[in-house]
Amino acid sequence: MKVLVTGSSGYIGQHLCAFLKSKQHEVWGLDNTFGDETYIDEFRCIDITNQNDLIAGCWNDITFDAVIHLAALVQVGESVKDPLHYYQTNIQGTINCMKYISYDNFVFASTGAAAAPTSPYAISKFAAEQCVRQYLNDVPYTIFRFYNVIGSAGYEPTNPDGLFYNLMKAERTGQFNLYGDDYSTPDGTAIRDYVHVTDICRAHIHAYRYLENKGAQRIVSAVLVDKDLGREKPYRADHIGLVTENRYLFGFGLDYKGYLRNWPGIYACRTVY
């Protein structure tokens, strides 16, 4: 199968391209930055917000079996500072990909934060979901809502707002910072759903195979609907990897320090009370 991955240079994108190639798919990549292209048959460096570049450079003579649309801005804090940039990229960029790329199936990567959007990032992804639903009337699509993606199969996370990014950084700094100690939980820290990046990759393959067979349109929550995508039990953020207790798991010691939320009232992920 011929699969186009937008955002192929990102944390999930690089994992997904490698996973698709391991399953003998023809992998095409699109991003506005360069990453590991080892597992990509053909790559285009294109900004999805520029429709002229997208039209000129995006294989107009090819119809992909599936487009997996990962390309997006994902930092909650940055979205608060520059919301219009997020609306342009995550909403208009998604519209451009739907309009100017030819495909038989479309898979859109959204976020669990879209379930109750409070940040410009979450609002932009929720709005993009509505665009997918309304634009793709005759095209099979899946909308995935991912929560907290963690783990690695060779590629490090790229979102500095993310818990896993900060956990990886802790190897260099010796300190793991956890933001938010005023939640309505036993110890005040957030309880979150986590999903491993390789499970995300598997889910995308299942998605477009399902679409091919069923021709359906659906929205999937990464934890609440498809159990194969996440843990059935949410965890406290300070328990991921037992960072305050088990230094042998990582091979280095960590000091855990708690902070107030960076953006009071704004949730980067679903919190279970």
Q: Which two tokens stand for residue 46?
A: 């294109």
Element (H, E) at 164: helix 163-173
Is 121 considered catalytic here?
A: yes
Burial classification of residue 176, based on how many CB atoms lie within 10 Å of its CB (0-12 exposed, 13-18 middle, 19 or more buried): buried
- 184-223: burial string, b at 16+ Cβ within 10 Å, e else: ebeeebbbbbbbbbebbbebbbebbebbeeeeebebbbbb
Which residue of the set 11, 39, 86, 121 is catalytic? 121
Judging by DSSP bridges, how do beta strands 235-236 and 191-192 pair with one another?
A: antiparallel
Judging by DSSP bridges, how do beta strands 26-31 and 63-64 pair with one another?
A: unpaired
Q: Supply the residues annotated as catalytic.
A: 121
